[in-house]
Structure 1
């Protein structure tokens, strides 16, 4: 029995920032499962003795349908205004070349997500080239080396620590929250807050599966591509991905980390709802749902930071992905997999590829 239910949680602007930061990243953007594994490696957090933990999240939209139908209606109305908002599996065509395919993914180990939609396994099997966000997901050691090659991306290198940026209340929350997760604050004090958040923002069941060696979908696709002799290409490096998120204000990351530790079971509920929406192909509903879950109050700083986050972590990277994928797609016979939230919208990957002359048709 939970002490706090999602429908009775009081509004909070930092909660809104957290949901847009940590959960959106978790659901469809940066491969934070890999990052969490790297943090575990840095801290020597044991994975050999991992115990399977059951996922306990509930679908927020289903609960709201009974308790707050107006909220559901608002979420669905906002999603309906987003171009290319339905579908996670697309066919890419251009005259004179074999068809290619685009799959929106979630960077999670959930078996439901690993089971690709109908048609995708055959498209993958027939592809000569596989494109993922970063081919560095193949090798955690290589990824770790890439991260520590620029210590300023992951650590405070100017003599400060995370405590330098905390007020008294934040320090108490961080100290107790990390202690409950077996991470004494002094142990991680020199780590950037996004690095710590990549570990503590994951639901326990995700950490458990990763600790047991489970692969997330993009990682599995990359490994399968190599084992089957396909050409594997990455659109970004992990360092590029981390620079994107590290470039956001430190206060943004501190707030996200602190609020993560305060949220408790709502993290699992939002993750379960995101997963259900993904499986249904309702990609454009994810962001409005997360915003509705946050119950964000009118806070101009929060709104500006959220806009900056979405621009830097979603929109800017959409353009990079579409541009870099173009030459391979021009040759055809490609299976391309990127985070699902990169697909919808007027500056989403689907629309950007159309502007390059490709015809994209939703399949699932």
Structure 2
């Protein structure tokens, strides 16, 4: 656990420098609404959900696109999400809450992030990139030595998490974490589409050259990263499917195609039969499935793959329905 703490510290040091002051939150999070009026106002500005309902003759599966890092003012959730949660007999996530919160998970991350044959980060980074990264870190009293034991995918993830935190985002406020707590409070059974080991194999198995390319993107454009994260969050919050596609799918497909295949396509293909089983084998039981928004989008997404299975499929989005025009008097 000390190694994990040292890495978190290094990431925090790096991102304190990389995130421009203008990207940090202006003041404290909005207070929790405490009256019926303020709750109604908050509901009006709730995030537009990426929510689809897939149904057969006797039950339904709700597919909800999550954003793993959110802010307190991203709540309350849409009434559509509340209704889907209330209708669900159980809630299924990418990884089950028990697996995700297992104390052994942090150690598994560190083991997956390391070099199996004793390499270092400096061994895989081009000289110019390594020197630039070290200069950036040095401005805040850190050095590349604090990252040497970890592969580029994990360094990139750590830097992104550090930046997100500096902008007021938090995993604790992520939609999946929120719904895990809600399920526990409501006594709803939960499950996972994969194990933490499956997820780590996908991340750790991506080609090293694509890992380096992704990290290079961060190091070469550190001042652009807060704006990019804000754009992604805004697209998710407004339920803008085309914008999310441009910012996630198209970016990954163009720059890191094998990473896209392993992290998105292969995992989706493994999940589709499980979701079909929730419809075909679970008579009368409705299920809410919560996954990262990326997994629902595009021709490789879960929505498209389930659309041709003989099921009824509809997007659930009250905020997407344009109000009827009132006739002139």
Query: Residue 357 of structure 1 corresponds to which residue in structure 2?
Result: 310
Superposed displacement of residue 232, structure 1 = 0.4
Deviation at 1:329, TM superposition (A): 3.4
Q: How far does residue 326 in structure 1 lie from its aligned partner after superposition?
A: 2.5
2:172 alignment partner, SS class: coil
Pairwise CA RMSD of aligned residues?
A: 3.4
Q: Which of the numbers 185, 191, 194 marks the counterpart of 1:227?
A: 185
Q: Is the 8 A contact 2:66 2:174 kept in 1?
A: no
State the match for 1:71 in structure 2.
none
Say if 1:203 and 1:268, in contact at 8 Å, map to a contact too: no
> SS of 1:361's equivalent?
strand
Corresponding residue for 1:163? 122
Verify: 1:338 aligned to 2:291, yes or no: yes
- Is residue 2:79 matched to residue 1:118? yes
The higher radius of gyration belongs to 2
Q: CA deviation at 1:249?
A: 1.7
Q: Which whole-Å CA distance do the structure 1 matches of 2:87 and 2:136 have between them?
A: 47
Calculate the TM-score normalised by the size of structure 1.
0.68
Q: Match of 1:327, SS?
A: helix
Structure 1 residues 1-364: aligned runs within 5 Å = 41=5, 43=7, 45=9, 56=23, 88-97=50-59, 99-136=60-97, 138-139=100-101, 141-148=103-110, 151=111, 153-180=112-139, 183-202=142-161, 204-207=163-166, 209=168, 214-289=172-247, 306-330=256-280, 331=282, 332-364=285-317
> Any runs of at least 4 consecutive aligned residues in structure 1 with deviations exceeding 6 A, and if so which?
none
SS of the residue 2:9 aligns to: coil
1:155 offset after TM fit, Å?
A: 0.3
Offset at residue 209 of structure 1 (A) = 4.5
Verify the 8 A CA contact 2:253 2:260 in the aligned structure 1. Answer: no
Distance 1:291 1:226 in 2: 32
Aligned equivalents of 2:244, 2:63: Cα separation in 1: 19
Task: Check whether the contact 2:94–2:192 (CA below 8 A) recurs between aligned residues.
Answer: yes
Give yes or no for contact 2:10–2:142 (8 Å, CA) kept in 1: no
Tell me the alpha carbon deviations over residues 249-307 of structure 1, each in whole angstroms, 9 at most, x when there is no partner: 21221232133123123111111111221122222322324699x8xxxxxxx977522
**Cα displacement string for residues 75-107 of structure 1 (whole angstroms, at most 9, x for unaligned residues):** xxxxxxxxxxx971112211023x332211111
Q: In structure 2, how many angstroms separate the alpha carbons of the residues matched to 1:118 and 1:325?
A: 24
- Report deviation, 1:203: 6.1
- TM-score w.r.t. the length of structure 2 is 0.74
Q: What is the alpha-carbon distance in structure 2 between the residues aligned to residue 91 and residue 303 of structure 1?
A: 27
- Higher RCO structure, 1 or 2 (CA under 8 Å, sep 6+): 1
SS in 2 for 1:281: coil
Aligned to 2:327: none
Paired residues, what number?
A: 284
Q: Which runs of 5+ in 2 are unaligned?
A: 25-47, 318-329
